[in-house]
Structure 1
């Protein structure tokens, strides 16, 4: 589930008390549904729709499926050539 944090929150999940996650207001993150429901119930977050994947990245690994290049947003990141030394 995707949520948007409405306020800063240090969250310790009930199923693993050894973990604490620091969320900051304005963050849009994917969380376990159980965590999201707790954060929404206490007014720290709101559910949002899943953001679209970048073009060319059908499997979600961050690389264009055809070329293998890293996908940045909806653009394929180009490597800058290093100047000759």
Structure 2
């Protein structure tokens, strides 16, 4: 319940801070958002690279396991 109240107070403060009748911080908020776009792009790009590398590793591992299974099937069918 306390978290809900704190959240509502934070939202109310944010709205009052950006409206012209309040603290009128809208230009500062826009400046911050414009400045954070390149940083967010770098972070998202790094995340995408790490996910891509992990995906490639998983595909390589799956191919190795598939080759091992085929080798086992071939050796078991030859021994019969």
Compute the TM-score of the two structures, normalised by the length of structure 1. Answer: 0.26
Query: Which has the larger share of strand?
Result: 1
Q: Which has the higher contact order (CA 8 A, sep 6+)?
A: 1
- Give 1 or 2 for the bigger CA radius of gyration: 2
Compute the TM-score of the two structures, normalised by the length of structure 2. Answer: 0.27
Query: Which has the larger share of helix?
Result: 2
